[in-house]
Amino acid sequence: MSEQNIIGWEQDADGIVVLTIDDPNQGANTMNDRYISSMRETVDRLHAEKDSITGVVLTSGKKTFFAGGDLKNMIKAGPEDAEEIYNHSLTLKADLRRLETLGKPVVTCINGAALGGGLEIALATHHRIAADVKGVKIGLPEVTLGLLPGGGGVVRTVRMFGLMTALTQMLLQGQQRGPQQAKEVGLVDDIVSSVEELVPAAKAWIKANPDKGVQPWDVKGYKIPGGTPSTPAFAANLPAIPANLRKQLKGAPMPAPRAILAAAVEGSQVDIDNALKIESRYFTSLVTGHVAKNMIQAFFFDLQAINGGGSRPKDIPKREIKKVGVLGAGMMGAGIAYVCAKAGIPVVLKDVTIEAAEKGKGYSEKIEAKALSRGKTTEEKSKALLSLITPTADPADFAGVDFVVEAVFESPDLKKKVFQEIEDIVEPDALLGSNTSTLPITDLATGVKRSEDFIGIHFFSPVDKMPLVEIIRGEKTSDESLARVFDFVQAIRKTPIVVNDSRGFFTSRVIGTFVNEAIAMVAEGIEPATIEQAGMQAGYPAAPLQLSDELNLTLMQKIRAETKAAAEAEGKELAADPAGDVINYLVEGNDRKGRLGGAGFYDYEDGKRVALWPGLRDHFKSGSATPPLQDLIDRMLFIEAIETQKCFDEGVITSTADANIGSIMGIGYPAWTGGVSQFVTGYPGGKAGFVARAEELAAKYGERFTPPASLKD
């Protein structure tokens, strides 16, 4: 073996070869050039010496088993690299194919995460054993990066599990499973309790199964479970698969799920070697496209930067939060209490009355009861979690609290009042956090004695499901306070982004432009249904008028009034507000306040959305304006991206990673774009292409689309 080979070789007296993948130049093994050349050399040797070999055990020298494809190279690839990527993919798979056809039993030992390429290597072996230890995750998450499994993952899962199971349980959703769940679905065959037991278990299996060195699909007469398009029963149901996928995607430009479906169905109709070629062709089309680049940037590199503490002040030691006090037991406060308790942090939940506080705890009780009924928790765990939440109406119960999170009504005076009630009771250096979504933090901090410990911590609703928390730094917020809150957010298993203070901060300010743009289209005479369709085809998780009803139209009125008052106080003049006119017509003219009020842009029956309100069409002459659908899509996407650039220019946000992840996880900016900043960078033609299109929109629809000068630099 050459010195460059990253795969160690150790053969025992029984003839079993243990191969250990361990790239010395990286913290994790990836499918880079060194891996490919090493695997080629190793498989050559296995075939050359197979008469003296009784079996092969594949292991990793890293904490993770194998990290997958080399994303640093993939993100650079363009259409001109298509042939190289296609050939690279085939080379990689040819050696895995030679490994599984060695004629000797090959076992994979999964000691850590085996995601993407790592699992694809394992699938090319005859038996998989996983250690039931922390950090083991098994799955094919490529679709979440705009890719498909290009190392044989599509082909082998289809042959192992059948088309329907492979597509729904492994490929189209990118599910990641722990060892037990992976064994239940058949991705691994055996589980051991420690990493040390892996190799002995693998050797024992080889000795007990010397004739199991053949894959099921290489046995003559093998048939894919559930059938293929040539099977009449399966063929009858096949049209439902793309129909359901279309329903899920709602017209959004997401090529990966479509490519996965095509590769799976087409590959099921040919032999495995041709199926691997089909898979490589679709993989190449995705790698060389711009959507995969956008999604890799956001969901791998940007998320990695955030999770690595990119926006956390450096050189400040971690301090664990030991007791949280939540002011306000409404929906937000109740949700915050739950996520704290779920992370094992004791929490006091306070409201004006004990009944209101207990009702807030009831929110957690309902979640736990549901989890218990579905077998996702145990009675013991549920009781332990709920015991960490103490409902109260007495400020004295905040003794010992080292982090206060205020979640009362959006009134500056009320917020200042509730802080003053507990400020002298909590720990002397307790953090004081406000869950406001729009009110300036610097102003709220004037209501407390320790403004350096005051900070904004904006959760999103519903708190137990939304993954993002927006941390807002006021003018006097200290680095230590910011670092402590950043660590707390990670401790409760949320993703933190950090922004500076201003009205609306980052997320509320940016989503406001999206909602306003869509509502303004109603005033222009555009069909409401067309506006909703444009939002869906842009890739937003909720259509804009539907979202407006969810956000509550009276709240929008209130925010407008506050924004107007603030602008007048600063001597600024606000632009015309056609969206505000539409909202006023609905709320004041027709008592339509949104979903909670039972009527808004939509009609509701028993709380369920029924249809768009016909009164919109009559009053705003819907259908009198028929601009191109792509213009409507671009207006939504561009207005948020332009507002984000203004946030950068004003210093409200300073990190592109925070902007991208914040926009996707917090306010539903379409995932295929890679986020609001990546949409600009990844737009066809780059920033120059974005600027040119923005100027076209400005000429047709108004100066709000004029790109900031900073985008032209």
Q: What is the pLDDT of residue 504?
A: 85
Crossing angle of the two packed helices 528-538 and 544-551, in degrees rounded to 10:
100
Is the pLDDT at 46 greater than 80, yes or no?
yes
Q: What is the mean pLDDT of the chain?
A: 95
Among residues 453, 447, 455, the alpha carbon closest in space to that of 474 is found at 455
- Which whole-number Å values give the CA distances from 220 to 234, 278, 329, in the listed order? 22, 22, 65
Nearby residues of 308 by Cβ (< 8 Å), 6 or more positions away? none
- 617 pLDDT tier (thresholds 50, 70, 90): very high
Q: Are 460 and 494 in contact (CB under 8 A)?
A: no
Q: What is the pLDDT of residue 572?
A: 82
- Per-residue pLDDT of 493-551, as tens digits, reads 999 999 999 888 999 999 999 999 999 999 999 999 999 999 999 999 999 999 999 98
The 3-state secondary structure of 513-536 reads: HHHHHHHHHHHCCCCHHHHHHHHH
Length of the chain: 713
> Of the residues 88, 127, 290, 458, which is catalytic?
458
Is the pLDDT at 570 greater than 90, yes or no?
no
- 2 pLDDT tier (thresholds 50, 70, 90): low
Sign of CA dihedral 450, 452, 453, 455: positive
- The reply to whether 290 belongs to the active site is no
> Average pLDDT for residues 262-273, to the nearest whole number?
97
pTM, two decimals, is 0.92
Q: What is the C-alpha separation between 709 and 624, in angstroms, rounded? A: 35
Is the pLDDT at 326 greater than 70, yes or no?
yes
Q: What is the pLDDT of residue 48?
A: 97
Is the pLDDT at 330 greater than 90, yes or no?
yes
> Average pLDDT for residues 351-373, to the nearest whole number?
97
Tokens of 175: 């599910």
Q: What is the pLDDT of residue 701?
A: 97
- Per-residue pLDDT of 152-175, as tens digits, reads 999 999 999 999 999 999 999 999
Q: What is the pLDDT of residue 437?
A: 85
Q: What is the C-alpha separation between 68 and 53, in angstroms, rounded? A: 28
Nearby residues of 370 by Cβ (< 8 Å), 6 or more positions away? none
Residue 172: Cβ-neighbour burial (10 angstroms; 0-12, 13-18, 19+): buried
> Average pLDDT for residues 280-285, to the nearest whole number?
98
Q: Are 602 and 612 in contact (CB under 8 A)?
A: yes
- Per-residue pLDDT of 451-474, as tens digits, reads 999 999 999 999 999 999 999 999
Is the pLDDT at 649 greater than 80, yes or no?
yes
**Omega into 229 within 30° of 0, i.e. cis?**
no
Is the pLDDT at 585 greater than 90, yes or no?
yes
Q: Report the Cα–Cα distance between both ends of the chain, in Å, rounded.
A: 52
575 alpha carbon, distance to own chain's centre = 35
- 1 pLDDT tier (thresholds 50, 70, 90): low
Is the pLDDT at 73 greater than 70, yes or no?
yes
- Which whole-number Å values give the CA distances from 289 to 77, 148, 492, 562, in the listed order? 8, 13, 36, 44
Sign of CA dihedral 411, 412, 415, 418: negative
Q: What is the pLDDT of residue 569?
A: 82
Alpha helices in 492-604 (DSSP H): 507-523, 528-538, 544-551, 553-569, 578-584, 590
Q: What is the C-alpha separation between 418 and 405, in angstroms, rounded? A: 11
243 alpha carbon, distance to own chain's centre = 25
Among residues 356, 347, 173, the alpha carbon closest in space to that of 248 is found at 173
Q: Whose structure tokens read 């904490």?
A: 63
Query: How many other C-beta atoms are found inside a 10 Å radius of the C-beta of residue 348?
Result: 27
Query: How many other C-beta atoms are found inside a 10 Å radius of the C-beta of residue 587?
Result: 19
Nearby residues of 433 by Cβ (< 8 Å), 6 or more positions away? 403, 404, 405, 406, 454, 455, 456, 457, 485
Nearby residues of 638 by Cβ (< 8 Å), 6 or more positions away? 690, 693, 694, 697, 705
Q: What is the pLDDT of residue 37?
A: 94
The type of residue at 280 is S
Q: Which residues of 99-249 form beta strands (DSSP E)?
A: 106-110, 114-115, 127-131, 138-139, 176-177, 190-192
Alpha helices in 24-110 (DSSP H): 33-48, 71-74, 82-100
Q: What is the pLDDT of residue 185?
A: 97
Q: What is the C-alpha separation between 415 and 448, in angstroms, rounded? A: 10
